[in-house]
Amino acid sequence: MSTTRKIAHNTLVQIIGKAISTFLGLVALAMMTRYLGTEQFGWYITVISFLGFAGILVDFGLIPVTAQMLAEPKFDKTKLLQNLLAFRFFTALIFFGLMPFAVLFFPYPPEVKIAVAFTTISFLATSMNQIFVGYYQTKLKMHIQAISEVFGRIILVVGLFLAIKQNAHFLPIMWTLVIASVSYTSALWLQSFKETKPLFSFDWNIWKAIIKKSWPIAISIIFNVVYLKGDIILLSLFRDQGDVGIYGAAYRVIDILSQTAMMIMGVILPVLAFHWSRNNQKLFKKFYQQAFDAMMLLAIPMTIGTILTATKIMELIAGSDFIISGKPLQILSIAVFGVYLGSVFGHTAVAINKQKQTMWIYISNAIITLIGYLIFIPKFGFWGAAWMTVFSELYAGILLYLTISHYSKTKLKFKTFSKILFAGLTMAIAIYLTSNLHIVIIIPLAAIVYSTTLYLIGGISKETIHEIISVKK
């Protein structure tokens, strides 16, 4: 089976799995917003944002680092995986272990502080997923990750249903999140025993290699956390939990839309790293271009469609109490485009070993965005937070593109992008003309108009479609 077809099949499986898990995630979000209301949903957003702050700090970029190191011939694969698992577990344990004490210094309700204490288990489990996801990316067996994620989401939805049926309070609701995360990680871990020996190992030479690969990403991520989570943390300090809930509901939708970017680039990164490390410039350029085109294929309709249907989306997902969340969602949807740009070029930076050369982008972004948050959030609340988030994502995406173009000496072609943009604008007209219909009807109609237009103008060729759907070896 060709590499393109393997990537296509892995991406297709992931898209199907992600579609199911996204649907289940939206069901869970709908259950929580309707049951908790704006204030207690604000508690939930505060908890996951506070721990998400630590989660980003401890990230170290280990998904792309794992995929890259396993794609290189330097270390024994089993031994490398075992050291990556040990490195991830103990670094995460240190960071998350501090969070229950750190939250005591914040002016949050007691329920939020208690939830932070035990929800650290959920985030510790999620942090372990990074190694397994990177491992399955390298093996081009991302169906295992997709199935495990769906399993975790099923546990979440069932758990929420049972908790709500028992009229549970906020803290039992948060325990369902912990159980779902642990279930997801357990499924990945148990399945990996069929492929390798996913145990802990300590080899200082490998740990040094991991640190050498990850420290530039870690430094960048420390500054990333300022603009990725700083908005909600500062909003929770300057505004009440109701505003946090309204903004957080919109932000959760954006999080779900953005996950696909990491999914696709996660599949392509090992291939980019493989060809770059072996100086296969022709194939590197081919997959780099394919990565950009694939990301724009999704980013353009997501951005345009969300801007035009934001209020209807929030009413459908979160209920009438969260209709106002449609306004910040319209703004944040512009940030989705920046997220997709940043994902393409951020992952490519790792593939070509230029993490250090991109650090200045994240550092300057953090400084500028933090200043913006401190100016605009106290004055404008979630409106200021949303617009500064848009700035930060576009700033990172554009500068990463310019930096990677310089170091890779590879210029992207924008012919397909122009066709994608035309199809997206055609879709926008269709959405406008059908705006009186229910959102459940508008979304599939818009998808049909977009895909049909793209096919008719040659944005997707017959050969590409045949390559993707072919099962011949």
Instruction: Label residue 20 by pLDDT band (50, 70, 90).
Output: confident
C-alpha to C-alpha distance for 351 and 265, rounded to whole angstroms = 11
Collapse the DSSP code of 406 into the 3-class scheme (helix H, G, I; strand E, B; otherwise coil) and give the result. Answer: helix
Closest CA to 160 of 148, 172, 147: 172
| 201, two tokens | 């190992």
C-alpha to C-alpha distance for 244 and 33, rounded to whole angstroms = 12
The whole-chain average pLDDT of the chain stands at 83
| 40, two tokens | 């207690």
* 343 contacts: CB under 8 Å, gap ≥ 6: 261, 262, 264, 265, 295
In the chain, the amino acid numbered 343 is S
**In degrees, to the nearest 5, what angle opens at C-alpha 187 toward C-alphas 183 and 191?**
170
Q: Domain map of the chain by residue range?
A: 3-413, 414-473
* 323 contacts: CB under 8 Å, gap ≥ 6: 311, 314, 315
| Packing angle of the helix pair 62-71, 110-139 (nearest 10 deg) | 20
Check residue 469 and give its pLDDT.
44
Check residue 115 and give its pLDDT.
95
- Answer for the pair 261, 339: CB distance below 8 angstroms, yes or no: yes
Instruction: Label residue 442 by pLDDT band (50, 70, 90).
Output: very high
Task: Report, as an integer, the average pLDDT of 388-403.
Answer: 92
DSSP-assigned letters across all residues of 355-377: TGGGHHHHHHHHHHHHHHHHHHH
Instruction: Label residue 191 by pLDDT band (50, 70, 90).
Output: confident
Check residue 447 and give its pLDDT.
92
| 44, two tokens | 């939930």
The Cβ of residue 433 has, within 10 Å, a number of other Cβ atoms equal to 11
In the chain, the amino acid numbered 358 is T
**In degrees, to the nearest 5, what angle opens at C-alpha 12 toward C-alphas 217 and 425?**
85
In this predicted model, what pLDDT tens digit does every residue of 328-376 receive, in sequence order? 999 999 998 988 888 888 888 878 888 778 888 888 988 899 899 999 9
- Answer for the pair 256, 22: CB distance below 8 angstroms, yes or no: yes
DSSP 414: -
Between the two ends of the chain, the Cα-to-Cα distance in Å is 5
> H or E stretch including 7?
helix 3-57
Task: Report, as an integer, the average pLDDT of 408-429.
Answer: 91
User: Cα 22 to chain center, whole Å?
Assistant: 12
In this predicted model, what pLDDT tens digit does every residue of 89-120 receive, in sequence order? 888 888 888 899 999 999 899 999 999 999 99
C-alpha to C-alpha distance for 473 and 471, rounded to whole angstroms = 6
C-alpha to C-alpha distance for 95 and 52, rounded to whole angstroms = 11
Q: How many CA atoms lie within 13 A of 130 on its CB side?
A: 25
In this predicted model, what pLDDT tens digit does every residue of 256-301 receive, in sequence order? 777 777 667 766 777 787 778 788 888 888 888 888 888 898 899 9
Check residue 3 and give its pLDDT.
53
> H or E stretch including 175?
helix 170-192
Instruction: Label residue 471 by pLDDT band (50, 70, 90).
Output: very low
Q: Is the pLDDT of residue 227 over 90?
A: no
φ, ψ (nearest 5 deg) of residue 169: -85, -175
